[in-house]
Amino acid sequence: MRLARFTLLGMLLLFSAITAPLMGQTAPLEEKQKAVVVFDLRLDLLMGSELAKSLKLPEQFAKMAAQQGGNGPDPSTIAGLFGAMSAPENMEAAQSFNGGELPVEFFVKIKFKDAAAATAAMEKLLESDPTAFDRNGKTYYRPKEDGAPENAVVHQFDETTLEFGTDAFVFHPNQKVLTDALTAAWSKMPQNEVVRVAIDMAGASGLLAEAVEAGKESAPPPVAGFLELVDNMKNLRLSVDVSGANLITLRTAGVDSEQAAELQSGLDALLGMAKIGAGEPVKQLKQQDPVLSGMLETVLTSLEAKVDGDEVSVVIPKPAGFDDAVKNFAEKMRSGEQ
């Protein structure tokens, strides 16, 4: 029985030794390597919205594609971008990249509207003749150009998606690369909105502390005072929805309810400054378009920061008739340019 047990153990160890390289195992990420920012941009939702049609954004994207002359993917074929990024250890590291390995880890998945568009984009990338290698049954490419990062790859993630990223993120099992705090913040985000961004403020505290100190030197006193409140935040979540009831929603979790209350007070003061600053331009707009001006005045009046426990929020609502008002204003501007 002992012999059988040792033989079975030996076989398992041998199997592990053989299969580990084939599985492409990646060492666990250090906490400082994990993503502290995650974002999702849904261009398909934006381009399909009445607001985008009013502003003729699809036509603008087509013009951008024509101006590129075939360089890079056609923006009109992209359905969305989803990605995440870690924070550099400090500002110096962020600014000092000059070839070699990037000072941050990241991945970006570019989803195209169909397989043909993804294939065309991949073929365009291959024209630069990157170094190809296989791993786990898939082909990856590493750029050769001078100054290109040594730890970045691109590959076709699925038939409609290309992925760019660093080795640590792209090859990580199941791509579970977010900090636990960022994962929790992202789970609170609404679904199917044009823009979604979440930041683990605690995870990026080192870099943020330097940025705050630099900002306080040049910012006006009221803004500099608000920067002091960055330490009050555990996370920051922003979403934009051009087709829903709210245009912009900003939420943040305070370290505790007391610090959340301080944050709410500071945000309200900052919004008060914004109302004053925007008041005159909105009044001037009234001469050109009293309907749109009236809507913007209503939005400005409604702006306030609210607190509920340790959650602070600022919501910019979408007024009824907003799409039509923007469309009419855009048409006036275009007719005036002709």
Which string of b and e fits 200-229 if b means at least 16 CB within 10 Å? bbbbbbebbebbbeeeeeeeeeeeeebbeb
- The model carries a pTM of 0.86
27-36, 68-77, 200-209, 261-270: which range is least confident on average? 68-77
74 pLDDT higher than 80: no
- For the segment 216-221, the average pLDDT, to the nearest whole number, is 79
Q: Tell me the average pLDDT of the chain.
A: 85
> End-to-end CA distance of the chain, in Å?
92
pLDDT the model gives residue 105: 95
Identify which of 84, 89, 94, 37 has the alpha carbon closest to the alpha carbon of residue 235.
37
With tokens 């924070």, the residue in question is 87
| 108 or 21, higher pLDDT | 108
219-223, 314-318, 319-323: which range is least confident on average? 219-223
Which SS3 state, helix, strand or coil, does residue 128 take? Answer: coil
Q: What is the rounded distance in angstroms from the CA atom of residue 119 to the CA atom of residue 116?
A: 5
Q: What is the rounded distance in angstroms from the CA atom of residue 94 to the CA atom of residue 214?
A: 14
- Is the separation of the CB atoms in 107 and 170 below 8 Å? yes
Which SS3 state, helix, strand or coil, does residue 136 take? Answer: coil
pLDDT the model gives residue 91: 78
- Is the separation of the CB atoms in 263 and 270 below 8 Å? no
pLDDT digits over 86-137, tens only?
998 877 777 777 777 888 999 999 999 999 999 999 999 999 899 999 998 9
- 3 token code pair: 């012999």
- 16 token code pair: 């592990």
Handedness of CA 207, 213, 215, 220 (dihedral sign): positive
- Is the separation of the CB atoms in 153 and 131 below 8 Å? no
